[in-house]
Amino acid sequence: MRGKQAPKRSIDPDTKFNRTDLAKFINYIMERGKKTVAEDIVYSMMTIISDKTKLDPVEVFETAIRNVAPTVEIKGRRVGGANYQVPMAVRSERSFTLACRWLIDAAAAKKGKKMSDRLAEEIIAAYNSEGTAFKKKQDTYKMAEANRAFAHFGRS
């Protein structure tokens, strides 16, 4: 690794709910620097969640992230001319990032509705331990379990 590691930047909480995890989620949704558009998507998603579930949308969001966040991931490792899929433990920050990415990708893959509606549906599904993003986590766990024999390659 060249140079020194970039400093960890502190992120300001979002304006409406005053939460840093929601601010990060807004930043992940943002495209081409249009933060107000991303905020509109997330805040309308939160109102849709509260209307559909009659629960606190922040709690639903937290639980959905917790249900989708992985603790194990698969990384390719080249050992002696062969590539192995090695299961590795995931740090909490990366776990949150992967959960957000999987939720956003699952919502973006659906067509026909506004992004806020698709995100709300995916987060409600993840809250109920179902949906595309939750299935992605399950598939990752199955892959890690199948390749558990190569876990010793991860420690070096």
pLDDT tens-digit profile of 57-89?
A: 999 999 999 999 999 998 888 888 888 888 889
Confirm whether pTM is higher than 0.85: yes
Q: What is the pLDDT of residue 156?
A: 55
pLDDT less than 70: residues of the chain: 1, 155-156
- Domain spanning 20-154: which superfamily? Ribosomal protein S7/S5 (1.10.455.10)
**DSSP letter, residue 71:** S
Cα dist. 49→45, 89, 100 in Å?
6, 31, 16
Residue reference for tokens 């993003």: 133
61: left (phi over 0), alpha (psi -120 to 50) or beta: alpha
